[in-house]
Structure 1
């Protein structure tokens, strides 16, 4: 039997298909009751899309079924239907599973999930703090206050609390500053947990031997890449992160454009920052020589992105071989 499971927030639409391609059952099941369905079809194959809440459902079903997780974007590109309803989607999933044509999505381990939750949670807190800092700047601008203030620093907040602006804007300012302070404290607490987590994993311990890679950068890279053995080589990792150049070929011409920017923008940004530190602060001879050679022919921005790409290639081989960072001419 082949089970196509279209998962929603509280329920799932399930289509059960037999070996001959005939639908033998269609049922809508509360997510909390999927375990009962899985037991009834124990040993069968099942497929569900990688939605926001699929981890728990995948784990529950996997106790009884052979579960495949489908890549949502890729499956929409190849699905053989123009209709979009729960029943149609469930049947299409079952059909593709029977034909062995499901584009699979990576299912991270519990360890990787925990790392992702930590670094993505921190990113959310930082984004919220930045939002309130921008509100402070907007409020000051509305009242003609143009002096340079830094609401993200202790000194900046103390200075802002000494300003005299009319009601109710003074109350709003105080609220924004309190929220920034609270979020800063939560970020610091989370940083301690992230540092502890990074120090406990062999993969992140290896990554932190790279000049310019902190515990947060190391854990983010590990969390977003997941198991390195799921990649066939360094080119696949570079493409996954979106640091691969876009190549356009036409006839005899070949034009290399900017990077594809697929995957995690946060990882790309962190790799570029790490490359900047390695080249300009940490005196990483390996990357510095590479950067200087490119910067003399191209602009510095292209050169640092290429250095970040080269660092990512090193990261792939480090994790693949279980080795610390030790390229030619560099002491880790």
Structure 2
């Protein structure tokens, strides 16, 4: 019997029609890993982080070396992970006609499942190059490429995201003021009321005396910051409403006509979800991270819950919108479906059912905003 010995590692194919490049980006250093036609080894170049001219010069040098070796000029196909640098590097690369750029979701790239796997920029760079080559060969499931938004689309999102940050900051100041007063025996003070300054002067500690001088000064400074945040929130909301009023046919304006969907929810749905094209309802649910993630292997068949792999802001908003939908649209078909499903479980499983309702509701919103498909039993805010 002939023994089948393990063959040595196969060399990387060199009959390439382009130069494949991966970018490992950090604040201080960018690692450029490349595989060029006619070469069996990947090359690596390190440049200073943020140095766009040096990056273009490095890629141009790779083209010159490949041309000297093969006698023809090759295009460059680059890949990078979505991260802290945003999309400006991608836009800078695609502005050069000889570069094709892709941005990949890092969580979608397959990695070894060992308990302790080696991870270095060198290994990650090589993995990105191989992933890019597989993608270009026509293997769509090897990774998930990010749909890069236009500059205007990306800028439009900042209104809702900044408002979310400021609302959290407002809550932080409110809780800090309440905590300071609680430490001296004062309860029931609401810093967000208009008469907060007047009421502060009337407060007495649990011992019956006035507020200590330094404590009162600290609370006044907290109130100054709270009022500044409230003013900024109001300014952002005015800007948000102004953008929505520019067109009655925009997804944001259409969604705002539904009872229970306010301007903030409509803005998040339009700018975080419906700014891009979806082919079907499965893609819509997957983008929001509301798609199911089954675990089926052998005799095991169970659900792990939603994937949570999509846009977290859109997912959070949809769960909140689902609860409000039950309140403001109780006679709609989706609300009746929720009540029937919960009643079958004796009133249990509301948290699971509300996520399922959020998924169905997101698809219904998508059809309503983009195609005009009326949601069964829904009423508008003007009705």
Give the aligned partner of residue 14 of structure 2.
none
- Partner-residue secondary structure (3-state), 1:210: coil
Distance 1:211 1:306, change over 3 A: farther
- Is 274-283 or 178-187 further displaced after alignment? 274-283
- Partner-residue secondary structure (3-state), 2:188: coil
Question: 329, 346, 364: which one pairs with 1:314?
Answer: 364
Structure 1 position 183, deviation (Å)? 0.3
TM-score between the two structures when normalised by the length of structure 1: 0.84
What is the number of residues matched between the two proteins? 328
Distance 1:156 1:306, change over 3 A: farther
Query: Partners of 2:286 and 2:309 in 1: how far apart?
Result: 7
Structure that is richer in helix per residue: 1
Residue 136 in 1 paired to residue 177 in 2?
yes
Contact 1:212–1:275 (CA under 8 A) maintained in structure 2: no
Question: 96, 100, 113: which one pairs with 1:66?
Answer: 100
Give the aligned partner of residue 2 of structure 1.
20
Residue 272 in 1 paired to residue 312 in 2?
no
Question: 177, 182, 188: which one pairs with 2:223?
Answer: 177
Give the aligned partner of residue 326 of structure 1.
374
Residue 214 in 1 paired to residue 232 in 2?
no
Distance 1:269 1:93, change over 3 A: closer
Q: Aligned ranges for residues 162-311 of structure 1 at < 5 Å? A: 162-163=202-203, 164-200=210-246, 202-225=250-273, 227-229=275-277, 231-245=278-292, 247-248=294-295, 255-256=302-303, 258-283=305-330, 285-298=332-345, 299=347, 300-311=350-361
Query: Partners of 1:103 and 1:330 in 2: how far apart?
Result: 35
Contact 1:5–1:90 (CA under 8 A) maintained in structure 2: yes
Larger Rg: 2
- Partner-residue secondary structure (3-state), 2:376: coil
Structure 1 position 213, deviation (Å)? 1.7
CA RMSD of aligned residues (A): 3.1
Contact 2:109–2:131 (CA under 8 A) maintained in structure 1: no
For structure 1, the residue ranges without an aligned partner over 5 or more in a row are none
- Partner-residue secondary structure (3-state), 1:77: coil
Structure 1 position 199, deviation (Å)? 3.6
Q: Aligned ranges for residues 42-53 of structure 1 at < 5 Å? A: 43-53=75-85
Query: Partners of 2:331 and 2:231 in 1: how far apart?
Result: 34
Distance 1:244 1:219, change over 3 A: same
Contact 1:112–1:226 (CA under 8 A) maintained in structure 2: no
Query: Partners of 1:89 and 1:116 in 2: how far apart?
Result: 30
Superposed CA deviations along residues 111-138 of structure 1, whole A, max 9, x for unmatched, are: 3312322211111111111111111121
Contact 1:209–1:324 (CA under 8 A) maintained in structure 2: no
Query: Partners of 1:219 and 1:161 in 2: how far apart?
Result: 40
Question: 110, 124, 136: which one pairs with 1:89?
Answer: 124
Superposed CA deviations along residues 82-137 of structure 1, whole A, max 9, x for unmatched, are: 54343443343234323435542232222331232221111111111111111112
